[in-house]
């Protein structure tokens, strides 16, 4: 195992599209969404543990989730959990981790990953990571993992690749364009063209390479962390992070750097990836009965119902009659019944609930 390999796990999101199971006190990355006996963040940590030494992991999360991280990842030490006082999207999150790693190992190669993705073919995935690390170590390229689209998905971002692969790397292509969540007709065109891949949000780069791009495209964000560099890994770290974080631009790494840089490449592959961003994506990866219903809950009775996802607590009897293509989710104080086709509206629903009913339901 290469001691220069580092892994940054981004675990600060609230997973609002997985409401009402995912709530502010315990978002989806800290839940056993798949019923495997492990939470999503535990599965993510284990996935990279064969490539990165345990001491080379950093978990960037909201300050409210510190205890959850330490409970669920007992091998991680407290100084490996980087606490954001407020959410500022992925660019400041990555900048913070970069400077922590810079303090310890300027020669680092870094994998950046969300905490809540599903990887079905882990053997293939590890092979992709190994080749990806080899690719970025040879130069100053930024690499993102692109997924062959299996359907015209409107909930993912897309990356268009150049026609010719990089020499000696048959699956690595220069990036032509990034496109955020397209409408259905455009998504169909993307899938049929063969030039577009889903943007997985998993990145690989050398520390020196990503720092160079931060200095070029997000110098103000980088300067804030430069200003407190000497206090990182000291008792004053959290205090100075709390001071500068509100000043950081609220921007994603995609918008802030990747869409502007001329040095971005895509490793195009397929390893059974899903970002598990919605109930619909969970439905796709859950075992189903003869009527294509995906059921989690010991006391669920379905009549004349097809293609539904039902996720309820084991202690509650739930009877569903005559529903087709619906999401039914129950938690201790909330019941959601929603057509699968409208799952993207759940985020708006959560907003409305917060305004009209208060925080206790979210």
Per-residue pLDDT of the chain (362 residues; tens, 9 = 90+): 789 999 999 999 888 889 999 999 999 999 998 888 999 999 999 999 999 999 999 999 999 999 999 999 999 999 999 999 999 999 999 999 999 999 999 999 999 999 999 999 999 999 999 999 999 999 899 999 999 988 888 878 899 998 888 888 989 999 998 988 888 889 898 888 888 999 999 999 999 999 999 999 999 999 999 999 999 999 999 999 999 999 999 999 999 999 999 999 999 999 989 888 889 889 988 899 999 999 999 999 999 999 999 999 888 999 999 999 999 999 988 999 999 999 989 999 999 999 999 888 99
Structural domain ending residue among the three candidates 274, 305, 321:
274
Structural domain ending residue among the three candidates 216, 239, 274:
274
β 142-147/57-62 pair status: unpaired
With respect to residue 56, please indicate whether it lies within any of the assigned structural domains: yes
100 and 143 inside one domain: yes
* Full domain range(s) for residue 154: 5-274
92 and 119 inside one domain: yes
> Which DSSP string corresponds to 206-272?
EHHHHHHHHHHH-HHHHHHHHHTGGGTTSTTHHHHHHHHGGGS----HIIIIITT-S-EEEEEE-SS
- What Rg do the C-alpha atoms of the chain give, in angstroms? 21
Peptide bond into 171 cis (omega under 30): no
With respect to residue 52, please indicate whether it lies within any of the assigned structural domains: yes
Q: What's phi and psi for 205, nearest 5 deg?
A: -165, 165
Predicted structure pTM score = 0.92
pLDDT at residue 224 in the model: 98
Q: Which residues of 332-344 are buried (b: 16+ CB within 10 A; e: fewer)?
A: eebebebebeebe
223 and 353 inside one domain: no
Q: Which residues of 144-179 are buried (b: 16+ CB within 10 A; e: fewer)?
A: bbbbebeebbebbbbbbbeeeebeebebbbbbeebb
Q: What's phi and psi for 53, nearest 5 deg?
A: -60, 150
Distance CA 273, CA 287 (A): 17
Distance CA 359, CA 25 (A): 10
With respect to residue 35, please indicate whether it lies within any of the assigned structural domains: yes
Q: Tell me which H or E stretch contains 136.
A: helix 122-137
238 and 349 inside one domain: no
With respect to residue 220, please indicate whether it lies within any of the assigned structural domains: yes
pLDDT at residue 293 in the model: 98
With respect to residue 279, please indicate whether it lies within any of the assigned structural domains: no
Structural domain ending residue among the three candidates 225, 250, 274:
274
With respect to residue 160, please indicate whether it lies within any of the assigned structural domains: yes
64 and 173 inside one domain: yes
185 and 312 inside one domain: no
* Number of separate domains in the chain: 2
| CA 318 to chain CA mean position, Å | 32
236 and 270 inside one domain: yes
Among the listed residues 59, 49, 42, the one whose alpha carbon sits nearest the alpha carbon of residue 1: 49
265 and 339 inside one domain: no
269 and 296 inside one domain: no
Cα–Cα distance list, 178 to 36, 209, 308 (Å): 34, 20, 33
238 and 163 inside one domain: yes
With respect to residue 322, please indicate whether it lies within any of the assigned structural domains: yes
298 and 270 inside one domain: no
60 and 81 inside one domain: yes
Q: Which CATH number is 241's domain given? A: 3.90.550.10
With respect to residue 198, please indicate whether it lies within any of the assigned structural domains: yes
């Amino acid at each position: 195992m290469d001691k220069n390999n580092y892994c940054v796990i981004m675990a600060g999101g609230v997973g609002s599209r997985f409401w009402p199971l995912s709530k502010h006190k315990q978002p989806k990355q800290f839940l056993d969404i798949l019923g495997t006996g492990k939470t999503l963040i535990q599965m993510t940590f284990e996935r990279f543990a064969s490539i990165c030494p345990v001491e080379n992991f950093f978990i960037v999360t909201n300050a409210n989730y510190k205890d959850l991280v330490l409970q669920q990842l007992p091998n991680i030490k407290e100084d490996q959990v980087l606490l954001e006082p407020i959410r500022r999207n992925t660019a400041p999150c990555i900048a913070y981790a970069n400077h922590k790693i810079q303090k310890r190992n300027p020669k680092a190669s870094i994998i950046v990953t969300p905490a809540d993705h599903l990887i079905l073919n882990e053997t293939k995935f590890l092979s992709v990571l190994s080749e990806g690390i080899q690719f970025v170590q040879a130069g100053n390229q930024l690499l993102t993992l692109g997924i062959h689209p299996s359907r015209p998905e409107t909930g993912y971002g897309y990356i268009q690749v150049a026609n010719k692969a990089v020499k000696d790397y048959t699956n690595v292509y220069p990036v032509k364009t990034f496109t955020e969540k397209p409408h259905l007709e455009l998504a169909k065109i993307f899938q049929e063209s063969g030039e577009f891949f889903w943007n997985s949000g998993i990145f690989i780069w050398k520390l020196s390479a990503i720092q160079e791009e931060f200095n070029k495209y997000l110098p103000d964000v980088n300067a804030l962390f430069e200003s407190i560099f000497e206090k990182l890994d000291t008792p004053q770290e959290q205090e100075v992070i709390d001071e500068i974080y509100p000043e950081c631009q609220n921007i994603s790494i995609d918008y802030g750097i990747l869409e502007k840089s001329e040095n971005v490449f895509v490793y195009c592959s397929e390893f059974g990836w899903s970002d598990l961003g919605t109930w619909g994506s969970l439905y796709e990866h859950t075992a189903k009965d003869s009527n294509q219903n995906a059921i989690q809950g010991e006391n669920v009775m379905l009549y004349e119902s097809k293609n539904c996802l039902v996720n309820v607590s084991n202690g509650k009897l739930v009877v569903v009659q005559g529903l087709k293509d619906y999401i039914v989710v129950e938690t201790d104080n909330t019941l959601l019944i929603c057509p699968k086709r409208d799952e993207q509206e759940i985020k708006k629903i959560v907003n409305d609930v917060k305004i009209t009913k208060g925080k206790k339901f979210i």
